Amino acid sequence: MSAALARIPRPVAALLLALAIHLIGMALIRGFGTMFGIRAMLVLATLLAIAAIGQTLVIIIGGIDLSIPFVIGFANVTAAQLYGDGVPFAVVLPLVLLVAMAIGALNGLVSASLAIHPLIVTLGTGTALQGAVQLWTAGFPTGAAPSYVTSFVSIGGSIGPIPVPWLIPAFLVLAALVILALGRTVYGRRLYALGSNPRAAQLALVDPVRTWTITFALSAGFAALTGVLLLGFSGAAYARVGEPYLFQTIAAVVIGGTTLIGGRGGYLGTIAGALCLIELTTVLVGLGLKPPLVQATLGVTIVALVAIYGREAHVRELI
Amino acid sequence: MSRWLAGRAYLRLAAALFVVLLAVNIALNPVRFAPASLGVTIGLASGLILAAIASMPPILAGRGGIDISVGPLMGLVNVVVVRWLVEGLGIESPFLIVPLVLLLGLLSGALNGLLATVLRIQPIVATLGTSLFYAGITLTIVPSPAGTVPAWIKALAGPTSILPLAAVALLWLLIKRLPFYEQLLCVGSDDRAAYTAGIPVTLVRFLAYVLAGLIAAVGGLCLTGLIGSADPNIAGTYTLLAISAVALGGVSLAGGRGGLVAAVLGAADIFLLQTALTFFNVSTFVLQIVYGTVLTVAVVLNADRLRQLLRRRRHA
């Protein structure tokens, strides 16, 4: 059974799983499969998938990025505050993205050049960043997103007759670009090379410090983008809005079959993983479980899923 | 002493920071650090110190070993003791509560060990799963702070606060006399070589998680004394603080390098930093900035690679 399961490509397995959860939800919960419900799940899964782009790239090179939730919060609050103060949004967005990417670049640079585990570096810079943002806004951020950002991500939005907000097609283009970049560009191949064997990659003239710096900068950039989109989604700024994304991005990546050891996996799996997580959460909430029990069930499910198809090799197979 | 330190260069920074921060704290607040109130002060720190010690064995075991569930397990111990044992079953005797708490820690550690080493789920994912599970169960048992605790548990955060720390230190000294300790460091430095040399790698790693669960449970009991009630929202933050403490103490997250003193020093540094800053009445936001910056700067200064780079420059 597990041998047969292991032969299914992991993104496909995760997608099938999301579909299965959806069917279970339709069978058990009245009104689960309605258009509105599906649209809501699509938007939520898309936001998670965008936040998880960076986590996917970073995990492929063998790192991990714990600063994602803090960067999301930073972008969320800063964008609202600046736009509320009258700065045009065309200035706000690039500014927020650039500052976030600078912080991400610092994460990658420090981790790679000094061989410090990125877990600690990203945790340190992320915590300091969140403190700084909260200090600046005194804990009570004001401001909002421009109305076109709100309608861009709105669950009720539509493109002409198609009942999805513009976020969805825009994300499909972005996802295609990420998948292309991973599979068909020199940068993508460098990520896999560094992730599977850093020493061999260096001998093949891949510069690890440069690649790590670029990748962590990208990760922070996508996190900041998520923060701005979340501002449009929820309407008000909140410095801790990114908190659920710490573990959800890692979970989406892992369920999608990208291994934390690095060098294997891809973004298609992460999208499927994000769909799985959102479907599962929605079904559990729909079944009337209280948030703590939803959390407990998610924990068990993540472990069970990875136990079925995400196991590591035994040490004897590594010799 | 100097020979002991020679093999532990990674401790230097944490030790120096400890001396400086302790001096600053004593200068700022002599009353709190007077011998008479030492019990209370240690009681304030013991939860974090024990969480840091608990995080250490899985990290020492290498290949991505880490236990994220330390904090949530402490929270679970807290609510299980207050709500189920004390309120539910009316048990107040330490001779019943302590063994039951230790049993809960052992079982939780064994569960993490089973998932991470026998089932071979990546440790961060396996313990993330158990974390979410424990945090959810904790909130379900006690949705908001409630309950009281027996006097002897409260005393664990006061006059007798040194007891649990001493017990764990003794346990660690005992472990260092066993072959298991050397095997743990071997597995952490190079698991393939250790496996080839006949060390039961899976068993050693499994035991590292069991140890983590056991020590975290003791930490949960100390935390219960400190809070004096069941509070589902406090312990969750301990995981990241504990891992920061361990890194600050110079323990390599790649495995194979570290020890009890490193974890204790790192945790004490974070605690002293917090008390010094709260003395100035700064907001939690400033606390967060300073804490994040100190953590980042400390690991940078402690990096082997930095030392190599500097040495190369000096020779050139």
B304 vs A: CB within 8 A: yes
Here the tokens at position A7 are: 């032969």
Q: Is B189 on the interface with A (CB under 8 A)?
A: no
Question: Averaged over B273-287, what is the pLDDT?
Answer: 88
CB contact under 8 A, B289 and A128: yes
N-terminal to C-terminal alpha carbon distance within chain B? 33
Cβ distance A282 to A42 under 8 Å?
Answer: no
Question: Domains plus CATH for chain B?
Answer: 9-315 (1.10.3470)
Q: Looking at beta carbons, which residues of chain B come within 8 Å of A125? A: 292, 296
Chain B residues 82-141 within an 8 A CB cutoff of chain A: 115, 119-122, 124-126, 128-140
pLDDT digits (tens, 9 = 90+) for A20-63: 999 999 999 888 888 888 999 999 999 999 999 999 999 999 99
Residue type, A84: G
pLDDT value of residue B256: 85
Inter-chain residue contact A130 with B133, CB threshold 8 Å: no
Chain B segment 1-60 residues within 8 A of A by beta carbon are none
Return all residues near B205 (Cβ < 8 A) that are at least 6 apart. Answer: B58, B61, B65, B113, B116, B117, B187
C-beta atoms of A117 and B293 within 8 A:
no
Give the domain ranges of chain A. Answer: 47-273
pLDDT bin (cut points 50, 70, 90) of residue B9 is confident
What are the tens digits of pLDDT across the range B15-73?
Answer: 999 999 999 999 998 888 888 888 999 999 999 999 999 999 999 998 889 999 999 99
| Set of chain B residues whose Cβ sits within 8 Å of the Cβ of A64 | 124
Q: How many residues does chain B have?
A: 316
Calculate the alpha carbon distances from B246 to A303, B45, B256 in Å. 26, 15, 13
* B224-B226-B228-B233 Cα dihedral, nearest 10 degrees: -70
Contacts (Cβ under 8 Å, ≥6 apart) of B137: A292, A296, B76
Classify the complex by whether its ipTM is higher than 0.85, answering yes or no: yes
B70 contacts chain A (CB < 8 A)? no
Distance from CA of B61 to the nearest CA of A (A): 13
Contact present, A165 and A157 (Cβ < 8 Å) = yes
Residue A1: its pLDDT value, please? Answer: 46
Element (H, E) at B148: none
pLDDT digits (tens, 9 = 90+) for B221-232: 999 999 999 999
Residue ranges of chain A whose pLDDT lies below 50: 1
When CB atoms are compared, the residue of B115, B124, B195 closest to A315 is B195
Phi and psi torsions of B250, nearest 5°? 95, 5
Q: What per-residue confidence (pLDDT) applies to B82?
A: 95
Listed in order, strand segments (DSSP E) in A26-184 are none
Q: What DSSP state is assigned to residue B251?
A: -
Measured between alpha carbons, how far is B136 from B232 in angstroms, rounded to an integer?
Answer: 9
Q: Are A65 and A245 in contact (CB under 8 A)?
A: no
Q: What is the pTM of this model?
A: 0.91
